[in-house]
Amino acid sequence: MAARMANSPTQVNGAWTIGRLLAWTREHFETHQVDEPRLAAELLLAEALGCRRIELYARIDHQPTAEQRAVFREHVRAAAEHHPIAYLIGHKEFYSLDFKVTPDVLIPRPETELLVERTLAWCRENPQDRYDLLDVGTGSGCIAVTLAKREKAAHVVATDRSAAALAVARENAVRHGVADRVQCVTADLLDLPPDCLPRNGFDVIVSNPPYIGERERASLPRNVVDYEPADALFSGEDGLDALRGLAGRGGDKLRRGGLMLVEVGHTQAAAVAAIFVDAGWEPAGRFKDLQGIERALAFRRPT
């Protein structure tokens, strides 16, 4: 017990510099099987100090104040219990942009950037003065806001059935200066108010829908199943209910030649492709994430 306490950041014996805090916390997180322990330690300490991660190493011998250490210590305790780091610090990077996140929204993941990349690629390949885009299940608004930020001709309707999630999405749209081109609307999947529909339909529908099956709930890591919103994770016993809804009703929301882009689970690509083809859609691409997993599927509107 004494040896453990001697290595704790609550101990006042010795100078708790930034370097020492990072080293101790990284080891502590490794012991508690926290994902990416070094990154987690850096993010939490930078938040406690009110600085950027890169600045930690320029101040490696700096000694944080007792108040800063107290904030850091509480976050370390929560993280060791698998509380998501993004919720602790209140934000998450996505496509090189910083997004506010709360427990009301799914934490943005790197694989979802594929949807943004493919939508922007479609816009480049189909030059227009205006793009009408629909982001179904927007959550934090990371997809919708990034599309509007990266494509100045994009006008995005961002939907979610959670009013709390839409409040976060609106705040992120304001944060990134695109609130005039991102319209946040309460809707369940494709049940849009008529005044949100472009005259000729949307150019692209993009969605990271819930796609985890209820039967998988027990196998999920604690930091996901215990903290992230269930409505954004689960979709029926096999996880495909929302995707079936998009396949069955998405065609009448798209213009002729329009594109549907969806994210899928790591073993779902073939099953989802079959669902869309059976509903009359034309396959338009299957795209892999950095781990080589088919994560984004594209389909053209059924005729």
Contact between 94 and 138 (Cβ < 8 Å): no
pLDDT for 302 equals 72
pLDDT for 301 equals 86
What are the beta bridge partners of residue 156? 133, 182
What's the domain count of the chain? 2
Judgement on whether residues 106 and 233 belong to the same structural domain of the protein: yes
Judgement on whether residues 198 and 256 belong to the same structural domain of the protein: yes
Q: What CATH number does residue 285 fall under? A: 3.40.50.150
For the whole model, what pTM was predicted?
0.91
Judgement on whether residues 215 and 133 belong to the same structural domain of the protein: yes
Work out the end-to-end distance of the chain between its first and last CA atoms, rounded to an integer number of angstroms. Answer: 70
Judgement on whether residues 149 and 178 belong to the same structural domain of the protein: yes
Sheet holding 131-136, edge to edge: 182-186, 154-160, 131-136, 202-207, 254-263, 294-300, 282-288
Q: What share of the chain is helix, strand, coil (3-state, %, to 5)?
A: 45, 20, 35
Q: Is the pLDDT of residue 4 over 80?
A: no
pLDDT for 86 equals 97
Judgement on whether residues 38 and 111 belong to the same structural domain of the protein: no
- Pairing assessment for the beta strands 97-100 and 91-94 based on DSSP bridges: antiparallel
pLDDT for 14 equals 67
The answer to whether residue 286 is domain-embedded is yes
Judgement on whether residues 168 and 64 belong to the same structural domain of the protein: no
Judgement on whether residues 174 and 256 belong to the same structural domain of the protein: yes
Structural domain boundaries, residue 124:
94-300
Cα separation of 288 and 195, whole Å? 35
Q: Encode pLDDT of 179-224 as tens digits.
A: 999 999 999 999 999 999 999 999 999 999 999 999 999 999 999 9
The answer to whether residue 142 is domain-embedded is yes
Q: Encode pLDDT of 18-64 as tens digits.
A: 999 999 999 999 999 999 999 999 999 999 999 999 999 999 999 99
Judgement on whether residues 113 and 39 belong to the same structural domain of the protein: no
The last residue of one of the domains, among 53, 81, 109, is: 81
Cα separation of 105 and 126, whole Å? 32
- The C-alpha angle 65, 66, 69, rounded to 5 degrees, equals 90
- Give the pair of three-digit tokens for residue 158: 């961002």
The answer to whether residue 88 is domain-embedded is no
